[in-house]
Amino acid sequence: MSVSVLASPSRYVQGKNAIAELGTHLEGLGSTPLLVADDIVWGLVESALTQGFTAAKLPVIRVGFGRFATPAAVDALVEKIRTGKHDVIVGLGGGSAIDAAKAAGHLAGVRWASVPTAASSDAPTSALSVIYTEEGEFIEYRFFPRNPDLVLIDTQLVAGAPARFLVGGIGDALATWIEARATRRGTGSAMAGGRPTRAGTALAELSWNILWENALPALDAVRAKVVTPALEAVVEANTLLSGLGFESGGLAAAHAIHNGLTAAPQTHGLTHGEKVNIGSVTQLVLEGAPTAEIEDFIVFTTKVGLPNSLTEIGLSADDRKELRAVAEAATVEGETIHNLPFPVSADQVVDALIAIEGISRRVRAEHGLPEPVKYVAGH
C-alpha cells in the first residue's frame, strides 16, 4: 500500500461549560438538528444546552437512546431524520449513542456531530462506528467517507461523571500508542485507509506521554468533581489525540482482543477501555516486549484502576473454551491483530491471555499492590 491518510473532524471544541456553546457551533451545520441522548445524559445537559440553542435560534428536538449501537437503533434514527426533515444529527453521551448518530447521519445523508459527556473512549472523532448486538457483542465496524463535522466536549461534564468512565478512556487511549507503533513496524493499514501517517503515529505517542504524566491527578480531579489542567490534558489525550492516533496510526491486537472478549458473557458490563486494556497487556506479551515495559504497564494501570489480569474480567486460565473463542474471534481474517509485524495464531493468543494472569499477580506482589479481585458480570 503506497498511500498514507490522515483523518480528523472538521472542528474540535473542548473546555469547561462548553455545552452551553453547542448551539453556536451547530449554527453553520444546519437549522433543524436532531439530538440523540438517553434520559440520564439529557438530564445533565438539557438546561445549558437549551439556553445555547435559544440564543442560536435552533429548535431543541431530542430522541432517546438505548444501550448499544445496534443495526435496528441506527435504522430507527435514520427514519427519525427523514420524517423530521433534520439536516444534522448530534450524538450526546457515551460511545454507543455517538456511534449510532454517526451511522444514521451517514445513511440519511446529513451532517453529524459528536458530543461526549465523558472522556471514556476515542470514538467521537473518528469516521467509523462500532456496531453491536442487543447483548453487546461486536458485529462490525462501519466506515464512513468523512469524520464528524464537530466534536465538542465539556470538561465540567467529564469532571461530574463517574471516575470509572475516565479510567475506561485512559485504557482505550493507552492502547493507541501500543497499537500504532506495531502497525508502523508492520505492513498493515490504519483505519483511515492506507499506511499510517507519521502525524498519526506521533499523536498516538503524545497521547501516551500525556497519560503517564497526568492520568492519576486527573482522576483525583474527577473524584473531587473539579476541572484542573491535568484533567484538561487527559480529556484531550483520551478524545482528540487518541482518536486521531488510532484512526491514522492503526489498530493491532489490543482492539482485536477486545472484540473477541465481547463474546464472553463473563465480561459483560465491563467498559470498552477495561477490555481494551486486557488486549494491551496481551499484545505486549505477544510481542515479547521488554520485561520492564510490561511490568511498568501493569503497575501503572493497576494504580489507574484498569484490569490487567483474567480474574478482573471474570475469567481464569481454566476457562479454556471461552479463551479459545476469544482468540478465534480476535484472529479472524481482516481483524486488526494482523497489523502486527508478524503472523499471529489463535493458539498464541490463548497462551498470551493465560500468561498475563501470572505476570500480573507477580508484578503486583513485587510492588506491594493489591491482588486482582474477581469480576462478576452484572455486579
Task: Give how far Cα 149 sits from Cα of 8, 49, 220, 241, 269, Å.
Answer: 9, 18, 32, 17, 31
State the pLDDT at residue 67. 85
Find the catalytic residue in 255, 318, 347, 379: 255
How many whole angstroms separate alpha carbon 241 and alpha carbon 210? 10
Task: Tell me if residue 338 is catalytic.
Answer: no
249-281: pLDDT as tens digits: 999 999 999 999 988 999 999 999 999 999 999
Check residue 378 and give its pLDDT: 79
Residue 94 is predicted with a pLDDT of: 85
Whether 272 sits among the annotated catalytic residues: the reply is yes
Q: Which of 25, 106, 272, 338 is catalytic?
A: 272
**Residue pointed to by grid coordinates 434520559:** 39
Band (pLDDT 50/70/90 cuts) for residue 135 is: confident
Catalytic residue, chosen from 258, 319, 347, 379, is: 258
pLDDT tens digits, one per residue of 53-65 = 999 999 999 999 9
pLDDT band for position 322 (cuts 50, 70, 90): very high
Mean pLDDT of 175-184: 97
CATH number for the segment(s) 4-159:
3.40.50.1970
Percent share of the chain, pLDDT over 70? 99
Q: Report how far residue 37's alpha carbon sits from residue 2's, in angstroms, rounded to the nearest whole number.
A: 41
Average pLDDT, integer, range 81-105: 95
Mean pLDDT of 333-339: 96
**Out of 92-96, 111-115, 142-146, least confident range:** 92-96
Please confirm, yes or no, whether 106 is among the known catalytic residues: no
361: exposed, middle or buried (C-beta count within 10 Å: 0-12, 13-18, 19+)?
A: middle
**Cα 48 from Cα 7, distance rounded (Å):** 31
Percent of the chain scored above 90 by pLDDT? Answer: 93
The predicted model gives 156-173 an average pLDDT of 97
Letter string b/e over residues 302-328, b meaning 16 or more CB atoms within 10 A of that residue's CB: bebbbbbbbbbbbbbeebeebbebbbe
From the list 95, 234, 215, the residue with the least C-alpha distance to 155 is 234
AA letter at 369: L
CATH of 163-366, one of 1.20.1090.10, 1.10.10.10, 3.40.50.300, 3.40.50.720: 1.20.1090.10
Q: What is the 8-class DSSP label of residue 62?
A: E
Q: Give the mean model confidence (pLDDT) for residues 293-307.
A: 98
> What was the pLDDT predicted at 106?
97
**CB atoms near residue 81 (< 10 Å):** 24
Question: Which pLDDT band holds residue 1 (cuts at 50, 70, 90)?
Answer: low
The residue from 172, 319, 347, 351 that is catalytic is: 172
Q: Say if 4-159 and 163-366 have the same CATH topology.
A: no
pLDDT in tens, 182-224: 999 999 999 988 999 999 999 999 999 999 999 999 999 999 9
For residue 172, indicate whether it is catalytic.
yes
**Structural domain spans, the chain:** 4-159, 163-366
Q: CA nearest 88: which of 126, 115, 125, 69?
A: 115
Q: What is the pLDDT of residue 137?
A: 87
Q: Give the C-alpha separation, 124 to 147, whole Å.
A: 9
369, HSE (Cβ side, Cα atoms, 13 Å): 22
Distance CA 230, CA 222 (A): 10
Q: Is the pLDDT of residue 316 over 90?
A: yes
